[in-house]
Amino acid sequence: MSRKINRRNFLKIFGGGVVATSATLTACTGKGNKTTASDQEPPKDKMVYRTNPNSGDRVSLLGYGMMRLPVVGGSERDNPNADIDQEMVNRQVDYAIEHGVNYFDTSPAYCRGKSEEATGIALHRHPRDKYFVATKLSNFSPETWKLEASQEMFENSLKYLQVDYIDYLLLHAIGGSGMDEFNRRFMDNGLLDWLVEQKEKGRIRNLGFSYHGAVSVFDQLLQWHDEGRYHWDFVQIELNYLDWNLANEINSSNTDAVYLYGELSNRGIPSVIMEPLLGGRLAKVPDYIASRFKARRPEDSVAKWAFRFAGTPEKVLTVLSGMTYMEHLKENISTYSPLEPITEEENNLLMAIADDIFNLKTIPCNECNYCMPCPYGINIPAIFSHYNKCIKEGLLPDDKQDPDYKKQRRAFLVGYDRSVPRLRQASHCIGCGQCSPHCPQSIDIPREMHKVDVLVENLKRNGKIKDVEE
């Protein structure tokens, strides 16, 4: 697996963008100095489209991920048990379609199982040929391994999405638990063959899989593709400037995006990109990293860099973003209307920054909520998010000699109680490990939980000076 991306590879992968860049620059000539309100509002007709060689679909480079839908009262993170705010979903979907977004990605598991229905309600208000809908076979629970149960899951997807066919159907989260589990979910029960039949009947237009984890499964599935045993119309992979070269170093059971993308593009299989922002982690970088981005392009947000990176490789069909808020949607539409591809120099900067982020040693949690709900009530993503936030802000109280130790200690503990109720904190993690197999990042959740718990315990114990009056 190549660790470094050399100049030739860079041109091969990212080269197509240069033409677009010059085109953009020309188009902008003479208008550069004007700042009007309309500059803030994304254009409606500049969206970049990529063509799927298998079906000829013209897919918008920005795809709408329906995993982090807005809930009543704000984001799911703050109100984990709140209902989806359908009105807001409708508004945002309307806005997306109006601005050229035509790819919507959901799953029967998302948003406590409510995402498909909400997506269906929002999309049904638009002509069927205006959008592509992607959903998944999320048959993780052993109860759904029977053919009938998985078939029912597929039929329900059609029902909730209010469609007769699925444009893009994915075998959901392949790789994590190795080939054995893949066989149990899709092969032993004949499910994959049944899905191929559905594709022949036109009920599925493109068949692919979303991939996390062990490379052996990925290689195996591509080998089947080469042998002609199964044909993959597309594959969904995790791609961003951190995972490009470092996914494997961050977690030995994950695979670098440079390899995944390379293998797919060699075969002409279009890549659908997930986690371009790592669940927002690449938008929330430490200040000193943010300022390096700002020094280069003062007007661009930190998130825009990550989206430009994910959209630059030519064989990327679409980049999925779970946009909870309208401002995310607007910004992402602007980023891809049109795309300014990452230059070679910018790419070097991103790779250097990736190394810095890697060295922060945060817990690689993207708050996807796949691990949730924890049967014992732990709020796993909230705990990791608080821990990571303190690391990124350089506020982790790890050195008692530090003059700021006391202040950091208080901030960590008070902030911890604020972001996670006591009963849902790491001290209540019993280490049953039911969460870990669900984690697409292959985090050893109980181990990380106990790490946070030990830190908290030490902070609590070190807070008091041993004293007794009298």
Partner 1 sequence: MLRRTRILLATVAFVMVTLLFLDLTGTMRHSFGWMAKIQFLPALLAMNLVIVVALLLLTLVFGRIYCSVVCPLGVMQDLMARFNRKKNKYSYSKTKKWLRYGVMGVFIIALIAGVGSLVALLAPYSSFGRIANNLFRPLYEFANNALASYSASHDSYTFSSTDIWVRSLPTFIIAAVTFVVLFVLAYRNGRTYCNTICPVGTFLSLFARFSWLRVKIDADKCIKCGKCARGCKASCIDFKNYSIDYSRCVVCGNCIDKCDKKHAISYGPVKLTAKAETQEKEEQVDTSRRSFLMATAMATTAAVLAQEKKKVDGGLAEIEDKAVVERNTPITPPGSISASNMAKHCTACQLCVSACPNDVLRPSSGLLTLMQPTMSYERGYCRPECNECSSVCPAGAIRPITLDVKSSTQIGHAVWVKKNCIPVVDGVECGNCERHCPVGAISMVLLDENDELSPLVPAVNESRCIGCGACENLCPARPFSAIYVEGHEVHKQV
Interface positions with partner 1 (CB under 8 A) = 67, 76, 80-81, 108-113, 138, 140-141, 143-144, 368-370, 372-377, 379, 410-411, 414-415, 417-418, 423-424, 427-434, 438, 450, 453, 457, 460-464, 466-470
Q: CB-wise, 153 or 217, nearer to partner 1? A: 153
Specify whether the CB–CB gap between 208 and 272 falls below 8 A: yes
Place of tokens 């807005």: 70
> Least distance in Å: CB of 48 to partner 1?
30
Nearer Cβ to partner 1 (78/249) = 78
Residue number, 352 or 430, with CB nearest to partner 1:
430
Tell which residue, 17, 82, 49, 2, has the closest CA to residue 342: 17
- Ramachandran region, residue 4 (left: φ > 0; alpha: ψ -120 to 50; beta: rest): beta
Alpha helix stretches (DSSP H) within 272-325: 287-296, 302-311
ω before 446 within 30° of 0 (cis)? no
Q: What is the DSSP letter of 64?
A: E
Q: How far is the CB of 458 from partner 1 (least distance, A)?
A: 10
* 8 Å CB contact between 57 and 167: yes
Q: Which is nearer to partner 1, 249 or 377 (CB)?
A: 377
Nearest approach, Cβ of residue 208 and partner 1 (Å)? 20
Tokens 């430009």, residue? 308
The DSSP secondary structure of 390-433, one letter per residue, reads: HHHTT-----TTSTTHHHHHHHHHHHHHHHS-GGGSGGG-----
Nearer to partner 1, 190 or 463 (CB): 463
Q: How far is the CB of 466 from partner 1 (least distance, A)?
A: 5
Retrieve residue 95's tokens: 């806005």
Hey, which residues does 136 pair with through a beta bridge?
A: 170
CA 33, distance to chain mean position in Å, is: 36
Distance in Å, CB of 187 to partner 1, minimum: 21
**Phi-psi region at 394: left, alpha or beta (left = phi > 0; alpha = psi -120 to 50):** left
Pick the closer one to partner 1 by CB: 248 or 442.
Answer: 442
Residue 387 CB, nearest approach to partner 1 (Å): 16
Closer to partner 1 by CB, 358 or 376: give it. Answer: 376
Token pair 């120099």 is at which residue? 345
Least separation, in Å, of the C-beta of 438 and partner 1? 7
Instruction: Compare residues 139 and 318 and give the one whose CB is closer to partner 1.
Output: 139
d(CA 148, CA 169): 18
As measured in angstroms, the least distance from the Cβ of 377 to partner 1 is: 4
